[in-house]
């Protein structure tokens, strides 16, 4: 598992674990942190989450916020789920990621989105 990062946020040193991001940051930031955790923890080349939520519709989140480009994995057309390269046979992880993605994006998609209200403990340069 990756070492938690420590970042200066609003003058305070914050340890940027996934839990910290979920507590203080945005839904999007939490999902990306979780994808990074899965990629690093399982030694993967890549990971993406496809999730359908009210308010935003079907969304594809690619680890590292990287562009999908030519989308050779056909993520734009994929069913909800966690897609990794190489594939992992971890149904619990996949379901947890999917649930996190759904609730995180629902949170962000509210009329008063959570993105602006929270701080991202892992984000650099947040003041």
Partner 1 sequence: MSLDELELELRRLRGVLAVGFQEADGLLLAELQAGPDAYPELARDATLIANQGAVGPVAVEVVRWGDRGNASRDTRLRLVEITNDPAAAEIHVRLALDADEGVGRASTGHGLLAPVEATVAAIRVFLPDLRFVAGWARLVETTPDRRFLVVASVTDPDTQEHRRGAAEGASPIAAASRATLAALNRTIAPDLAPLL
Residues that bind partner 1 (CB under 8 A): 25-26, 28-29, 56-62, 65-69, 71, 74-77, 108-109, 113, 115-116, 120, 123, 126
Instruction: Write down the least CB distance from residue 6 to partner 1, Å.
Output: 19
Residues in Cβ contact with 24 at an 8 Å cutoff, skipping those fewer than 6 apart: 14, 118, 119, 120, 121
CB 39 within 8 A of CB 27: no
Nearer to partner 1, 86 or 91 (CB): 86
Residue 94, helix vs strand vs coil: helix
CB of residue 45 vs partner 1: minimum separation in angstroms?
A: 10
Cβ nearer to partner 1, comparing 38 with 119: 119
Minimal distance, residue 96 CB to partner 1, in Å: 21
72-77, long-range: CB < 8 A, 24+ apart: 73/48, 75/48, 75/50
């Amino acid at each position: 598992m990756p070492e938690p990062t420590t970042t200066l946020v609003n003058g305070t040193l914050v340890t940027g674990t996934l839990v910290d991001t979920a507590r203080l940051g945005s839904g999007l930031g939490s999902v990306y942190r979780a994808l990074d955790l899965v990629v690093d923890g399982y030694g993967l080349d890549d990971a993406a989450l496809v999730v359908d939520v009210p308010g935003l519709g079907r969304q594809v989140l690619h680890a590292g916020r990287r562009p999908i480009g030519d989308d050779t994995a056909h993520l734009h057309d994929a069913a909800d789920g966690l897609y990794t390269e190489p594939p992992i046979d971890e149904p619990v992880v996949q379901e947890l990621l999917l649930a996190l993605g759904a609730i995180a994006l629902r949170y962000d998609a509210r009329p008063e989105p959570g993105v602006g209200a929270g701080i991202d403990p892992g984000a650099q340069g947040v003041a």
